[in-house]
Amino acid sequence: MTGSARELTTTARDLLGCSDNERISSLAREPFVSYGTAKRILTRMDALLRSPRSHRPASMLIAGATNNGKTMLVRRFTDANPAVHDDEADAVSCSVLYIQMPPTPDARQFYLAILEKLNVPTQRTAVLSHVQSQTLRICRIVGLKVLVIDEIHNIHGGRIEQQRHFLNLLRYISNELEIHIIGCGLPSALRALQSDEQLTNRFEHWPLPIWRSDKSCRVLLNTIESTLPLQRQSSLSETETMERILGLSGGTIGEIARLIREAAAAAIRAGAERIDTDLLDSLGWVAPDDRRKAAEAVLGHRS
């Protein structure tokens, strides 16, 4: 990429003629940046949604560190497949539903989370068997096909017995409704699913690893750079700059994107109009691991 032949998104290019303040404000937006694994996961999620119902529906586990883009990815899929109202039939069709796993693997809380997302009035005191049959009935009526469960590692928030019951429940609703389950959460979720032999076989593992200094990271940084309204080229994917970004960010996409946006704002303010290692070093950025250590030191000091 040379300065004049830089590839910018249309939005970034249009912003080049705007004032410094406008360009800095635009950096507060968090556009979705696509990358290889994200594309493959989105393609697979779409394939599950389009596949005919089966009595052994495949499921997915998207596992990765916190702040590494799991929720943003599944949200992109759920936003692309919203519930629709069929005026003629006066019925709602909801083929994809997103819920957060309750803090503990509690069946009632889980069913209530589904019902609330479907705007079904619920009675918190209703007996579990009633809540369960109501949930299954309504999921059938709306034609649910894919249930996305975020923070699925919360399965670990209960005793072993409770965890086992919950895994049985997942298998039961998946079989009974013939729906695909897409779980996302910390890598520890894999351990929970592996304790159930049948679920392990059914859940495809889709890891979202921490970014490392390699070709796919170069592509990611080039894509992020193409969204920045800077007058000059930064070459974020050059080895030294890439490694500095990875070192300061700890390698999660959330931290990488935030660091680069902060650096871009600083580059506009300073008139440098490009991000290099000197500018990154001047930000006073504290890497997430160091932030954590500092917080632990304060807490340890207090106790």
Nearest to 108 by CA among 145, 138, 133: 133
Exposed, middle or buried, 197 (CB in 10 Å: 0-12/13-18/19+)?
Answer: exposed
The DSSP annotation for 119-156 comes to T----TTS-HHHHHHHHHHHHHHHT--EEEEETGGGGG
E strands in the chain: 59-64, 84-86, 91-93, 96-100, 146-150, 180-185, 203-208
Question: Could you say whether residue 69 binds ligand ADP (CB under 6 A)?
Answer: yes
Question: Could you say whether residue 226 binds ligand ADP (CB under 6 A)?
Answer: no
Nearest approach, Cβ of residue 249 and Mg ion (Å)? 17
Cβ distance to ligand ADP smaller for residue 57 or 254: 254
- Rg of the chain over CA atoms, in angstroms? 23
State which residue has the least CB distance to ligand ADP.
254
Separation of CA 153 from chain center = 14
Question: Could you say whether residue 112 binds ligand ADP (CB under 6 A)?
Answer: no
Size of the site for ligand ADP (CB under 6 A): 15
C-beta of residue 139 within 8 angstroms of C-beta of residue 160: no
State which residue has the least CB distance to Mg ion.
71
Q: Would you state the structure tokens that stand for residue 268, as one six-digit string?
A: 């506009």
Question: Could you say whether residue 66 binds ligand ADP (CB under 6 A)?
Answer: yes
Nearest approach, Cβ of residue 99 and ligand ADP (Å)? 14
Question: Could you say whether residue 145 binds ligand ADP (CB under 6 A)?
Answer: no
Nearest approach, Cβ of residue 253 and Mg ion (Å)? 12
Name the binder of 30 from Mg ion, ligand ADP, none, CB < 5-8 A by kind. Answer: ligand ADP
Report how far residue 183's alpha carbon sits from residue 59's, in angstroms, rounded to the nearest whole number. Answer: 8
Name the binder of 180 from ligand ADP, Mg ion, none, CB < 5-8 A by kind. Answer: none
User: Left (φ > 0), alpha (ψ -120 to 50) or beta: where does 49 sit?
Assistant: alpha
Q: Would you state the structure tokens that stand for residue 149, as one six-digit string?
A: 């469960």
Question: Could you say whether residue 241 binds Mg ion (CB under 5 A)?
Answer: no
Helix (H, G, I), strand (E, B) or coil at 8: coil
Question: Could you say whether residue 281 binds ligand ADP (CB under 6 A)?
Answer: no
Binding mask 227-266 for ligand ADP (x = CB under 6 A): --------------------------xx--x---------
Interaction residues for Mg ion, span 45-84 (CB under 5 A) = 70-71
Nearest approach, Cβ of residue 236 and ligand ADP (Å)? 14
Interaction residues for ligand ADP, span 2-61 (CB under 6 A) = 30, 32-33, 38
Exposed, middle or buried, 34 (CB in 10 Å: 0-12/13-18/19+)?
Answer: middle
Separation of CA 14 from chain center = 29
Nearest approach, Cβ of residue 149 and ligand ADP (Å)? 13
Cβ distance to ligand ADP smaller for residue 72 or 283: 72
Report how far residue 276's alpha carbon sits from residue 231's, in angstroms, rounded to the nearest whole number. Answer: 14
Size of the site for Mg ion (CB under 5 A): 2
Cβ distance to ligand ADP smaller for residue 199 or 208: 208
Cβ distance to Mg ion smaller for residue 70 or 274: 70
Name the binder of 107 from ligand ADP, Mg ion, none, CB < 5-8 A by kind. Answer: none
Please report, as ranges, the residues that interact with Mg ion according to CB under 5 A. Answer: 70-71
Please report, as ranges, the residues that interact with ligand ADP according to CB under 6 A. Answer: 30, 32-33, 38, 64, 66-72, 253-254, 257
